[in-house]
Amino acid sequence: MCDRRPLVLHKSLRLPARARQQSSRTLTAFGVLATTPLFAACAPQASPATSSAPPPPAVAVSVALARHGPIQQRLTYSGDLVAARQITVLPKVSGQIQDLPVGLGSPVKAGDVLATLDPRTTQTQVQQAQAGLVQAQAKLTSMQAGPRQEDVAAANATLAIQQAKLTSMQAQGRAEDFASAQSALQMQQSKARPHAARWPH
């Protein structure tokens, strides 16, 4: 805003009459020169020509309030997932797995069942072992009871035959036949002696 009020000198700045006349001329010339730029600056400026083009449409924008909060950043990497420790579990018996109570990555502790084997194969093996045990027990009982009567009778009959053969060989006088018969008799006697010792008369 331009100030068009006249310049007024303060009383303390007044000069003598002669000096005032010279100063008045100087001030008049200075005032004309000083006010010329002021009038030029205060002159109304010509408004620019208005454009006939319509203003561009307003762009809709979303507004959000600024606030403090954590910044999340997700990073994706590829790799292999391995356990910190590995333990090899070996079953005491072999067989076909029937059930797996735990899966891959499941937490386990001592005493947990990891796998169940098919019991049919094991049951067959147990039945076979039981049958063998029964046979062994029967054989043991038979040996503890001593020889059977028919076994003793058969051994005595064979012994009698060998004795008769030996007597016949001795009567004929052939040395080689006598030696062979005597050897067979001694062998038969060694077989029959344990049965006779254990069989009560």
**Beta bridge partner(s), residue 116:** 99
The residue-averaged pLDDT of 156-162 equals: 79
Q: Is residue 178 part of a domain?
A: yes
Token pair of 25 as six digits: 């001329």
118 φ, ψ (degrees, to nearest 5): -65, 120
CA distance 127 to 124: 5
The residue-averaged pLDDT of 91-104 equals: 84
- Model confidence at 12, pLDDT cuts 50, 70, 90, reads very low
Token pair of 86 as six digits: 């590995």
Token pair of 156 as six digits: 């005595």
- Model confidence at 104, pLDDT cuts 50, 70, 90, reads confident
Q: Is residue 50 part of a domain?
A: no
CA distance 88 to 73: 39
Q: Is residue 70 part of a domain?
A: no
User: Quick one: pLDDT at residue 93?
Assistant: 76
The whole domain housing 201 covers: 147-201
Q: Is residue 194 part of a domain?
A: yes
Specify the range with the lowest mean pLDDT, choosing from 7-11, 134-138, 189-193: 7-11
DSSP string, 38-87: HHHHHSPPPPPPPPSSPPPPPPP---------PPP-----------SS--
Into how many domains does the chain fold?
A: 1
CA distance 47 to 45: 6
Q: Is residue 170 part of a domain?
A: yes
The residue-averaged pLDDT of 130-152 equals: 79
**Is the model's pLDDT at 180 over the cut of 60?**
yes
Q: Is residue 166 part of a domain?
A: yes
Distances (CA, A) of 167 to 57, 175, 186, 193: 147, 12, 14, 20
Task: Enter the pTM of the model.
Answer: 0.29
CB neighbours (10 Å) of residue 149?
10
Q: Is residue 183 part of a domain?
A: yes
The residue-averaged pLDDT of 138-161 equals: 77
**Is the model's pLDDT at 27 over the cut of 70?**
no
The residue-averaged pLDDT of 144-158 equals: 76
**Is the model's pLDDT at 133 over the cut of 60?**
yes
User: Quick one: pLDDT at residue 18?
Assistant: 52
The helix (H) or strand (E) run that includes residue 90 is: none
User: Quick one: pLDDT at residue 165?
Assistant: 72
